[in-house]
Amino acid sequence: MKIIKIKPQGFCKGVIYAINIVEKTLNDKNVKKPIYMLGNIVHNKNIVNSFRKKGIIVLEGQSREEMIEQVQSGTVIITAHGACNKIKTRAKEKGLTVIDATCRNVDRTHQLIKDKLDNGYIVYYYGKEKHPETEGVLGISSDITLITENTDLTLIPKNKGKAFLTNQTTMSYFDVYQIYEKLKQIIPKLELGEEVCSATRRRQEAVLLYRETIDLCIVVGDALSNNTKKLKEVAEKNGINAIQIEDASQLAYYDLSDYKTVGVTAGASTPNDIVDEVIAVLKMKENTSN
Ligand code: SF4
Protein backbone atom coordinates (compact mmCIF):
# COMPACT_ATOMS: atom_id res chain seq x y z
CA MET A 1 0.00 0.00 0.00
CA LYS A 2 1.33 3.41 -0.98
CA ILE A 3 0.47 6.16 1.49
CA ILE A 4 0.18 9.79 0.40
CA LYS A 5 -0.05 12.58 2.98
CA ILE A 6 -2.31 15.13 1.33
CA LYS A 7 -1.32 18.68 2.27
CA PRO A 8 -2.24 21.19 3.68
CA GLN A 9 -2.53 19.71 7.14
CA GLY A 10 -2.22 21.03 10.66
CA PHE A 11 -4.22 23.69 12.46
CA CYS A 12 -5.76 26.52 10.46
CA LYS A 13 -5.16 30.12 11.53
CA GLY A 14 -8.54 30.27 13.31
CA VAL A 15 -7.75 27.26 15.47
CA ILE A 16 -4.28 28.58 16.33
CA TYR A 17 -5.81 31.97 17.20
CA ALA A 18 -8.45 30.38 19.46
CA ILE A 19 -5.95 28.12 21.25
CA ASN A 20 -3.61 31.06 21.86
CA ILE A 21 -6.43 33.13 23.33
CA VAL A 22 -7.40 30.33 25.72
CA GLU A 23 -3.76 29.81 26.78
CA LYS A 24 -3.35 33.54 27.38
CA THR A 25 -6.56 33.62 29.43
CA LEU A 26 -5.36 30.69 31.54
CA ASN A 27 -2.03 32.39 32.20
CA ASP A 28 -3.53 35.77 33.07
CA LYS A 29 -3.65 36.04 36.86
CA ASN A 30 -6.10 38.94 36.66
CA VAL A 31 -8.77 36.98 34.81
CA LYS A 32 -11.85 36.34 36.96
CA LYS A 33 -12.39 32.68 37.84
CA PRO A 34 -14.00 30.29 37.09
CA ILE A 35 -13.30 30.30 33.37
CA TYR A 36 -16.06 28.86 31.20
CA MET A 37 -16.05 27.95 27.54
CA LEU A 38 -19.29 28.39 25.61
CA GLY A 39 -19.12 24.91 24.06
CA ASN A 40 -16.05 23.35 22.44
CA ILE A 41 -13.40 25.94 21.60
CA VAL A 42 -12.79 24.07 18.32
CA HIS A 43 -14.18 20.72 17.25
CA ASN A 44 -11.45 18.45 18.53
CA LYS A 45 -11.81 16.38 21.69
CA ASN A 46 -8.08 16.27 22.42
CA ILE A 47 -7.79 20.05 22.47
CA VAL A 48 -10.97 20.53 24.49
CA ASN A 49 -9.97 17.87 27.04
CA SER A 50 -6.50 19.38 27.46
CA PHE A 51 -8.17 22.67 28.46
CA ARG A 52 -10.57 20.85 30.79
CA LYS A 53 -7.55 19.39 32.57
CA LYS A 54 -6.20 22.91 33.01
CA GLY A 55 -9.37 23.93 34.85
CA ILE A 56 -11.66 25.34 32.17
CA ILE A 57 -15.33 24.43 32.49
CA VAL A 58 -16.76 23.50 29.12
CA LEU A 59 -20.47 24.36 29.01
CA GLU A 60 -22.92 22.05 27.31
CA GLY A 61 -26.47 22.73 26.22
CA GLN A 62 -28.89 23.01 23.34
CA SER A 63 -27.89 26.59 22.57
CA ARG A 64 -25.52 29.39 23.58
CA GLU A 65 -28.50 31.14 25.16
CA GLU A 66 -29.08 28.15 27.40
CA MET A 67 -25.37 27.81 28.22
CA ILE A 68 -24.88 31.42 29.25
CA GLU A 69 -27.70 31.11 31.79
CA GLN A 70 -25.71 28.37 33.56
CA VAL A 71 -22.96 30.86 34.45
CA GLN A 72 -23.25 33.17 37.47
CA SER A 73 -19.76 34.63 37.77
CA GLY A 74 -16.28 34.61 36.27
CA THR A 75 -15.16 34.63 32.67
CA VAL A 76 -16.71 33.18 29.56
CA ILE A 77 -14.83 32.39 26.37
CA ILE A 78 -16.68 32.61 23.04
CA THR A 79 -15.46 29.76 20.82
CA ALA A 80 -13.93 29.96 17.33
CA HIS A 81 -17.41 29.45 15.85
CA GLY A 82 -18.59 32.81 17.19
CA ALA A 83 -21.76 33.95 18.90
CA CYS A 84 -24.24 36.70 18.20
CA ASN A 85 -24.30 40.03 20.04
CA LYS A 86 -27.32 38.92 22.09
CA ILE A 87 -25.12 36.35 23.86
CA LYS A 88 -22.27 38.80 24.44
CA THR A 89 -24.71 41.40 25.81
CA ARG A 90 -26.36 38.85 28.10
CA ALA A 91 -22.94 37.79 29.45
CA LYS A 92 -22.09 41.42 30.22
CA GLU A 93 -25.49 41.97 31.88
CA LYS A 94 -24.62 39.07 34.17
CA GLY A 95 -21.34 40.77 35.08
CA LEU A 96 -19.18 38.20 33.30
CA THR A 97 -15.89 38.96 31.58
CA VAL A 98 -16.19 38.04 27.91
CA ILE A 99 -13.15 36.78 26.01
CA ASP A 100 -13.80 36.41 22.31
CA ALA A 101 -11.92 33.70 20.38
CA THR A 102 -14.13 33.92 17.28
CA CYS A 103 -12.24 33.13 14.07
CA ARG A 104 -11.80 36.29 12.00
CA ASN A 105 -13.39 34.57 9.01
CA VAL A 106 -16.57 34.02 11.00
CA ASP A 107 -16.52 37.63 12.22
CA ARG A 108 -16.25 38.73 8.61
CA THR A 109 -19.32 36.69 7.60
CA HIS A 110 -21.31 38.24 10.47
CA GLN A 111 -20.31 41.73 9.32
CA LEU A 112 -21.15 40.95 5.70
CA ILE A 113 -24.63 39.77 6.69
CA LYS A 114 -25.27 42.79 8.91
CA ASP A 115 -24.28 45.14 6.07
CA LYS A 116 -26.61 43.39 3.63
CA LEU A 117 -29.52 43.42 6.08
CA ASP A 118 -28.93 47.14 6.73
CA ASN A 119 -29.09 47.69 2.98
CA GLY A 120 -32.46 46.01 2.59
CA TYR A 121 -31.37 42.62 1.28
CA ILE A 122 -33.14 39.38 2.03
CA VAL A 123 -30.39 37.12 3.36
CA TYR A 124 -30.11 33.36 2.79
CA TYR A 125 -27.51 31.42 4.77
CA TYR A 126 -26.30 27.97 3.80
CA GLY A 127 -25.18 26.21 6.97
CA LYS A 128 -25.46 23.13 9.10
CA GLU A 129 -28.50 23.12 11.35
CA LYS A 130 -27.66 23.43 15.08
CA HIS A 131 -23.95 23.98 14.36
CA PRO A 132 -22.60 26.72 16.67
CA GLU A 133 -21.49 28.86 13.71
CA THR A 134 -24.97 28.68 12.18
CA GLU A 135 -26.54 29.40 15.54
CA GLY A 136 -24.38 32.52 15.89
CA VAL A 137 -25.36 33.77 12.44
CA LEU A 138 -29.08 33.11 12.88
CA GLY A 139 -28.89 35.08 16.13
CA ILE A 140 -28.03 38.22 14.14
CA SER A 141 -31.61 38.53 12.88
CA SER A 142 -34.74 36.45 12.66
CA ASP A 143 -35.01 37.63 9.02
CA ILE A 144 -32.20 35.31 7.87
CA THR A 145 -33.41 32.21 6.00
CA LEU A 146 -31.41 29.08 6.75
CA ILE A 147 -30.69 26.69 3.90
CA THR A 148 -29.33 23.29 4.87
CA GLU A 149 -28.37 20.22 2.87
CA ASN A 150 -31.95 19.00 3.44
CA THR A 151 -33.69 22.10 2.14
CA ASP A 152 -35.82 21.61 -0.93
CA LEU A 153 -34.77 24.69 -2.89
CA THR A 154 -37.82 24.49 -5.13
CA LEU A 155 -39.95 25.35 -2.08
CA ILE A 156 -38.14 28.64 -1.42
CA PRO A 157 -40.61 31.45 -2.19
CA LYS A 158 -39.92 33.44 -5.39
CA ASN A 159 -38.44 36.85 -4.76
CA LYS A 160 -37.77 39.68 -7.19
CA GLY A 161 -36.04 42.00 -4.72
CA LYS A 162 -32.46 42.39 -3.53
CA ALA A 163 -31.22 39.10 -2.14
CA PHE A 164 -27.95 37.75 -0.84
CA LEU A 165 -26.68 34.21 -0.29
CA THR A 166 -23.76 33.42 1.95
CA ASN A 167 -22.60 30.37 3.87
CA GLN A 168 -20.99 28.75 6.88
CA THR A 169 -17.21 28.97 6.48
CA THR A 170 -16.65 25.21 6.53
CA MET A 171 -19.10 24.05 3.87
CA SER A 172 -18.19 22.43 0.57
CA TYR A 173 -16.97 25.08 -1.81
CA PHE A 174 -18.63 23.18 -4.66
CA ASP A 175 -22.03 22.89 -2.96
CA VAL A 176 -22.17 26.64 -2.32
CA TYR A 177 -21.92 27.39 -6.04
CA GLN A 178 -24.45 24.69 -6.91
CA ILE A 179 -26.95 26.10 -4.44
CA TYR A 180 -26.36 29.59 -5.79
CA GLU A 181 -27.05 28.48 -9.38
CA LYS A 182 -30.28 26.73 -8.36
CA LEU A 183 -31.55 29.55 -6.16
CA LYS A 184 -30.80 32.14 -8.83
CA GLN A 185 -33.49 30.56 -10.99
CA ILE A 186 -36.07 31.47 -8.33
CA ILE A 187 -34.44 34.69 -7.15
CA PRO A 188 -33.02 36.45 -10.22
CA LYS A 189 -31.24 39.27 -8.36
CA LEU A 190 -29.52 36.91 -5.94
CA GLU A 191 -25.93 37.92 -5.14
CA LEU A 192 -23.41 35.45 -3.77
CA GLY A 193 -20.96 36.17 -0.98
CA GLU A 194 -19.11 32.86 -0.96
CA GLU A 195 -17.49 32.59 2.48
CA VAL A 196 -15.80 29.18 2.52
CA CYS A 197 -12.56 29.91 4.39
CA SER A 198 -9.28 29.28 2.62
CA ALA A 199 -8.26 26.51 5.06
CA THR A 200 -11.43 24.57 4.18
CA ARG A 201 -11.29 25.26 0.46
CA ARG A 202 -7.60 24.41 0.06
CA ARG A 203 -8.10 21.05 1.76
CA GLN A 204 -11.03 20.22 -0.54
CA GLU A 205 -9.07 21.23 -3.65
CA ALA A 206 -6.03 19.22 -2.53
CA VAL A 207 -8.07 16.02 -2.19
CA LEU A 208 -9.41 16.44 -5.73
CA LEU A 209 -5.88 16.72 -7.12
CA TYR A 210 -5.45 13.07 -6.13
CA ARG A 211 -8.76 11.94 -7.66
CA GLU A 212 -7.01 9.74 -10.25
CA THR A 213 -4.18 8.60 -7.99
CA ILE A 214 -5.72 7.27 -4.79
CA ASP A 215 -8.27 4.51 -4.34
CA LEU A 216 -9.12 5.49 -0.75
CA CYS A 217 -9.07 8.79 1.06
CA ILE A 218 -8.76 8.64 4.86
CA VAL A 219 -10.06 11.84 6.41
CA VAL A 220 -8.82 12.35 9.95
CA GLY A 221 -10.89 14.59 12.18
CA ASP A 222 -13.42 14.89 14.95
CA ALA A 223 -16.94 13.60 14.32
CA LEU A 224 -18.28 17.08 15.19
CA SER A 225 -15.95 18.92 12.82
CA ASN A 226 -17.92 20.24 9.87
CA ASN A 227 -14.91 20.93 7.64
CA THR A 228 -13.79 17.31 8.20
CA LYS A 229 -17.24 15.99 7.30
CA LYS A 230 -17.32 18.14 4.16
CA LEU A 231 -13.85 16.96 3.13
CA LYS A 232 -15.13 13.40 3.12
CA GLU A 233 -18.28 14.41 1.22
CA VAL A 234 -16.26 16.28 -1.42
CA ALA A 235 -14.12 13.18 -1.96
CA GLU A 236 -17.15 10.90 -2.25
CA LYS A 237 -19.09 13.19 -4.56
CA ASN A 238 -16.09 13.09 -6.86
CA GLY A 239 -15.90 9.33 -6.98
CA ILE A 240 -13.20 8.77 -4.35
CA ASN A 241 -13.84 6.12 -1.68
CA ALA A 242 -13.52 7.86 1.65
CA ILE A 243 -13.66 7.08 5.34
CA GLN A 244 -13.56 9.43 8.32
CA ILE A 245 -11.71 8.45 11.48
CA GLU A 246 -10.98 10.41 14.63
CA ASP A 247 -7.65 8.73 15.35
CA ALA A 248 -5.49 5.69 14.56
CA SER A 249 -7.46 3.37 16.85
CA GLN A 250 -10.47 3.62 14.51
CA LEU A 251 -8.49 2.11 11.63
CA ALA A 252 -9.25 -1.22 13.28
CA TYR A 253 -12.86 -0.94 12.04
CA TYR A 254 -11.83 -1.11 8.38
CA ASP A 255 -10.38 -3.75 6.12
CA LEU A 256 -7.90 -1.82 3.99
CA SER A 257 -6.18 -4.82 2.42
CA ASP A 258 -7.61 -4.20 -1.07
CA TYR A 259 -6.41 -0.60 -1.37
CA LYS A 260 -3.21 0.09 -3.27
CA THR A 261 -2.84 3.85 -2.83
CA VAL A 262 -4.30 5.62 0.16
CA GLY A 263 -4.40 9.39 0.65
CA VAL A 264 -4.52 10.81 4.17
CA THR A 265 -6.02 14.22 4.71
CA ALA A 266 -7.24 15.96 7.87
CA GLY A 267 -9.64 18.60 9.11
CA ALA A 268 -8.44 22.05 10.11
CA SER A 269 -8.63 21.28 13.84
CA THR A 270 -6.87 17.90 13.74
CA PRO A 271 -3.52 17.92 15.56
CA ASN A 272 -0.55 16.83 13.42
CA ASP A 273 0.48 14.11 15.87
CA ILE A 274 -2.89 12.33 15.39
CA VAL A 275 -2.34 12.23 11.61
CA ASP A 276 1.27 11.09 12.07
CA GLU A 277 0.03 8.25 14.24
CA VAL A 278 -2.54 7.24 11.58
CA ILE A 279 0.21 7.14 8.97
CA ALA A 280 2.49 5.16 11.30
CA VAL A 281 -0.25 2.56 11.92
CA LEU A 282 -0.96 2.31 8.17
CA LYS A 283 2.73 1.69 7.52
CA MET A 284 2.80 -0.94 10.25
CA LYS A 285 -0.20 -2.72 8.72
CA GLU A 286 1.56 -2.61 5.36
CA ASN A 287 4.70 -4.21 6.79
CA THR A 288 2.73 -6.88 8.62
CA SER A 289 0.85 -7.89 5.46
CA ASN A 290 4.11 -8.24 3.41
S1 SF4 B 1 -11.77 26.22 9.59
FE2 SF4 B 1 -11.78 28.28 8.69
S3 SF4 B 1 -13.44 29.35 9.72
FE4 SF4 B 1 -13.00 27.55 10.95
S5 SF4 B 1 -11.51 28.27 12.47
FE6 SF4 B 1 -10.33 27.50 10.74
S7 SF4 B 1 -9.93 29.30 9.45
FE8 SF4 B 1 -11.60 29.83 10.87
| DSSP characters over 180-240 | HHHHHTT-TTEEEE----HHHHHHHHHHHHTTTT-SEEEEE--TT-HHHHHHHHHHHHTT-
Whether the CB of 41 sits within 6 Å of ligand 1: no
- Strand ranges (DSSP E) for 212-260? 216-220, 242-245
Mean pLDDT value across residues 181-195:
97
Whether the CB of 13 sits within 6 Å of ligand 1: yes
Shared-domain flag, residues 165 and 133: yes
- Answer whether 81's CB lies under 8 Å from 41's CB: no
Alpha carbon of 256 to ligand 1 centroid (Å):
31
Does the pTM exceed 0.85?
yes
Closest residue CA from atom 8 of ligand 1: 14
Return the H-helix or E-strand segment holding 97. Answer: strand 97-100
pLDDT above 90: percentage of residues in the chain: 98
- Please give the mean pLDDT across all residues of the chain: 96
Shared-domain flag, residues 110 and 179: yes
Residue 288: its pLDDT value, please?
64
Shared-domain flag, residues 93 and 18: yes
Ligand 1 atom at shortest distance from the alpha carbon of 80? 5
Closest residue CA from atom 5 of ligand 1: 14
The CATH number of the domain where 279 resides is what?
A: 3.40.1010.20
Structural domain span for residue 55? 13-103
The CATH number of the domain where 82 resides is what?
A: 3.40.50.11270
Shared-domain flag, residues 87 and 150: no
CA separation for the pair 160, 157 (Å, rounded): 10
Shared-domain flag, residues 164 and 88: no
CA separation for the pair 242, 236 (Å, rounded): 6
Whether the CB of 169 sits within 6 Å of ligand 1: yes
Mean pLDDT value across residues 270-288:
91
Residue 285: its pLDDT value, please?
79
Q: What is the pLDDT of residues 135-148, one digit of tens each?
A: 999 999 999 999 99
User: Closest Cα to residue 149, out of 230, 245, 246?
Assistant: 230
Beta strands 57-58 and 35-37 are parallel
Shared-domain flag, residues 188 and 210: no
**Cis amide bond preceding 271, omega within 30:** no
Shared-domain flag, residues 110 and 146: yes
Residue 92: its pLDDT value, please?
96
Q: What is the pLDDT of residues 46-104, one digit of tens each?
A: 999 999 999 999 999 999 999 999 999 999 999 999 999 999 999 999 999 999 999 99
Mean pLDDT value across residues 172-192:
97
Whether 202 shows a pLDDT value over 80: the answer reads yes
Whether the CB of 109 sits within 6 Å of ligand 1: no
Q: What is the pLDDT of residues 9-28, one digit of tens each?
A: 999 999 999 999 999 999 99
Shared-domain flag, residues 161 and 209: no
Residue 161: its pLDDT value, please?
94
Ligand 1: which of 9, 12, 137 to mutate, judged by most atoms within 8 Å of the beta carbon? 12
CA separation for the pair 97, 38 (Å, rounded): 13
- Strand ranges (DSSP E) for 188-288? 190-193, 216-220, 242-245, 261-266
Closest residue CA from atom 2 of ligand 1: 197
Ligand 1 atom at shortest distance from the alpha carbon of 18? 5
Q: How many CB atoms lie within 10 A of CB 213?
A: 12
Whether 287 shows a pLDDT value over 80: the answer reads no
Shared-domain flag, residues 65 and 132: no
Shared-domain flag, residues 204 and 180: no
- Judge whether 133 counts as a catalytic residue: yes
CA separation for the pair 196, 174 (Å, rounded): 10
Number of separate domains in the chain: 3
Task: Name the active-site residue from 133, 135, 195, 246.
Answer: 133
Whether 38 shows a pLDDT value over 60: the answer reads yes
Q: Domain end: 103, 128, 155, which one?
A: 103
Whether 286 shows a pLDDT value over 80: the answer reads no
Whether 290 shows a pLDDT value over 70: the answer reads no
